[in-house]
Amino acid sequence: MMIEIPPGWIVIAGAFIIPLLRGLLRHIALVGLPSLALAMIWLLPMDSGWQIPLLEYHLAPLEFTVVGKVFATVFALMTLVGGIFAMRTASTFELSAAFLYAGSAIGITTCGDLITLFIYWEMMALGSTAVILAAGTASAYRASMRYLLMHAFGGCVLLTGIVWHIYTTGSTEFTKLEIQGPAQWLILIGFLVNVGAPPFSAWIADAYPEASPSGAVFLSAFTTKTAVFTLLVAFPGTGILIPIGCFMIFYGIIYALLENDARRILSYSIVNQVGFMVTGIGIGTEMALNGAAAHAFAHIVYKALLLMTAGAVLYQTGKRRCTELGGLYQSMPLTTLCGIIGALAISSFPFTSGFISKSMISQSAAYEHITWVWFLLAAASAGVFLHAGIKYPWFVFFQKDSGLRPAEPPKNMQFAMVLFAFICIALGVFPQTLYEILPYPVEYKPYTADHLVTQFQLLLFAGLAFFVLLPMMKRTETISLDLDWFYRKLLPGWYRRVVSLMSTSYDIGQRVVLSWLSTFVQTYYDHEEQKPKGYFARLWPTETMVLWVVVLLAGYLLVSYI
């Protein structure tokens, strides 16, 4: 019989095992532990689960569900391929932090109570912060501190909501939550902070690009998609998620189009793609929820592939700005090909993974007659092709010749990129492989004449618009102001001014009061008839009393001694 333990524990154990290993043994652990976790995810029966009593409550570290299996599978796969990509370049500290981060994410997908979820949630925040810190640069340190503060805020909101929910309902169960009061709203807000919802979307593009080439790959997969999983389980069909998701979609597109940094382009694209998932969860039908889960699976693969190519370029050239790159296809053809496949997948190009997942969400909006959402998703698909499907590969690998001739990255990086590129195409060609593991039965057929013609028209129009407007699309050295300006610059500036004003006012008030008291006392003593005459009269009454107490005590001690 198979021992039923949470698969995430195997990966978390790797965080403590990896620092003890070197050379081949470390490489075996990087591949073997995620593979073992992946095998356990698929071998455990669906009714697996056990509980731990805690006071009058019960914790459920292992509770296997269909939707949890989907996310746990792709998280374990990401850990495996990400470990291969990082094995020769990442530091021991980064690898250990990444396994703690990944294992905690897998733990969330296989737990059944809110208390255990929160413990994993905070472990994931610590692991991801350490992944950013592992880059070892000053900018990474500053970004990691901002990242930690943001997730500490989200964690506090989530904890408050969980405690309030348990107090009012008496239940710790992690299942669908009906919004009945402030407790559920706080839980929802805590999840939305991690998903990158407004006004806290900027932390993704602020932190992820500052990680190492391999660290950004791990970061792209777990935090936002774990939050998508929790929303899908706890708040399916919550209407407020539809406008939130639509805002995220266009927010990501606009800022990615303005951006010059290749890795920031892809980071803003994460917000955009997660917006599709949040919209699907808000629609809440079986097809929409299937689409959100399928798109999360596909997105983790193709986004990791895109960040692998960007990381390979950064590792080989030390550059990440579009204005400093170009012409790399001449010396990095494999990386270029993998980047193109990832760009086509994120753009929902037919016969790639994005085509068979994203369209389920837009089609569910059409079935529910939410016309405005369908039109926005169609327009967003063109926008995605503009910024991630064309802009990223064009400015990084083609456009002008930058004169850079870097070699291909190390073999382990190449293997990881090729593997994920293969999965992007395989899922697009054989969508039923993914559909069979989704939470609900799938009757959707992506390859219809109408869908193919519509998608090709949309992509061709977007491609034509890009090259017609190419002079406007060329990037320069600019700074894009984001919503984080309000809480990173404006509010701290106001706070410093208020504190400075209060401190100045206190100092002025103190000087005025002391000056007034001094003047009053001096005026009082200046009158001859009230001037003290003797030594003791010039002392304060308290001083006189203390003096006499000392004299009396000394006399008492002397008499007692004699």
> Could you read off the pLDDT of 391-447 as tens digits, one per residue?
888 888 888 887 888 899 999 999 999 999 999 999 999 999 999 999 998 888 888
Segment 517-541 shows an average pLDDT of: 60
pLDDT attached to residue 485: 75
pLDDT attached to residue 338: 94
Q: Lowest-pLDDT range, 127-131, 146-150, 500-504?
A: 500-504
Q: How big, in percent rounded to 5, are the helix, strand and coil portions of the chain?
A: 75, 5, 25
* Range with the largest mean pLDDT of 224-228, 385-389, 393-397, 544-548: 224-228
Residue 57 dihedral angles phi and psi, to the nearest 5°: -110, 175
DSSP structural state of residue 328:
G
What does the DSSP assignment read for 282-327? HH-SHHHHHHHHHHHHHHHHHHHHHHHHHHHHHHHHS--BGGG---
Distance, CA of 284 to CA of 454 (rounded, Å): 25
Residue-wise pLDDT tens digits, 238-280: 999 999 999 999 999 888 888 888 899 999 999 999 999 999 9
Residue 411 CB contacts under 8 Å (≥ 6 apart), including other chains: none
Compute CA distances 151 → 123, 160, 190, 469, 520, whole Å: 11, 14, 9, 39, 56
Query: Are the CB atoms for 75 and 222 separated by under 8 Å?
Result: yes
Residue 328 dihedral angles phi and psi, to the nearest 5°: -75, -15
Residue-wise pLDDT tens digits, 322-365: 888 888 989 999 999 999 999 999 988 899 998 999 889 999 99
Distance, CA of 35 to CA of 471 (rounded, Å): 47
DSSP structural state of residue 46:
T
Q: Lowest-pLDDT range, 89-98, 293-302, 335-344, 485-494?
A: 485-494
Query: Residue 24: how many CB atoms within 10 A of its CB?
Result: 8
Q: Is the CA virtual torsion 519, 523, 524, 530 positive or negative? A: positive
pTM of the model: 0.86
Q: Is 49 left (phi over 0), alpha (psi -120 to 50) or beta?
A: left
Distance, CA of 364 to CA of 286 (rounded, Å): 9
pLDDT attached to residue 96: 95
Query: Are the CB atoms for 10 and 103 separated by under 8 Å?
Result: yes
